[in-house]
Every structure is written in C-alpha cells, then in structure tokens.
Amino acid sequence: MKKWIVFAAALLLAACGGDSGGWVPGLDLPPEPPATRPAPAPAPPRTSSADTREDAYCHGVAHQRMLDGKAYGYDRDTLKAIYNGAYRDCMAWRTPVPR
C-alpha cells in the first residue's frame, strides 16, 4: 500500500518542477482599440489633500479587484464593471455619513 501512495505522489508532483514564470490567465489580452467617442469633461478640482489620498487609495483598491477579475479571465466589459463598482463602493465607504 505504501508503494502505491509513494508512486501516486511521485506522479502528482512530476509536473511541479516545470515553468514557474508566473503567467496569469487574462494578462495577455490584446490592446484595446482607440476610443471613437469624445473625451469626457474634466473632473472638478479637489479641494483637500485628504480627498486625493482617499481617491488614490480607492483607485488602488479598484485596480486590484480588476486584476483579480483578469486572473479569472473575465472580458473587458466585466473588468470595467468590477473596477467601477469597487471604486464606487470604496468611495461610499470612506465618505463620512452626516449626522
């Protein structure tokens, strides 16, 4: 019985010594075609440095969630929805509730 367990373990681990380049599915997507719509109006300027810190933090969180979606192979529209939803949720969570 021990021989079969050792043999099965050797077969299962035989593929572990292969390429460890760290390839993640979805990260090699083809480049997006250029936009044909006009650029959106610029956002109003922020007034405090706390706003820009929170904004940068939420952009980072949203980008990380989008990369998680890329790793699972989601399409571009789904990745945009993930990014926008994560950013919106983060900003809503970081905005203080008026009392």
How many angstroms separate the CA atoms of 10 and 61, rounded? Answer: 41
What is the model's pTM?
Answer: 0.46
- Tell me what pLDDT residue 69 has: 94
How many angstroms separate the CA atoms of 73 and 68, rounded? Answer: 9
Taking the chain (99 residues) in runs of 10, the rounded mean pLDDT of each run is 76 58 60 67 59 82 94 94 94 75
SS3 of residue 52 by DSSP: helix
Length reported for the chain: 99
How many angstroms separate the CA atoms of 26 and 79, rounded? Answer: 11
- Tell me what pLDDT residue 84 has: 95
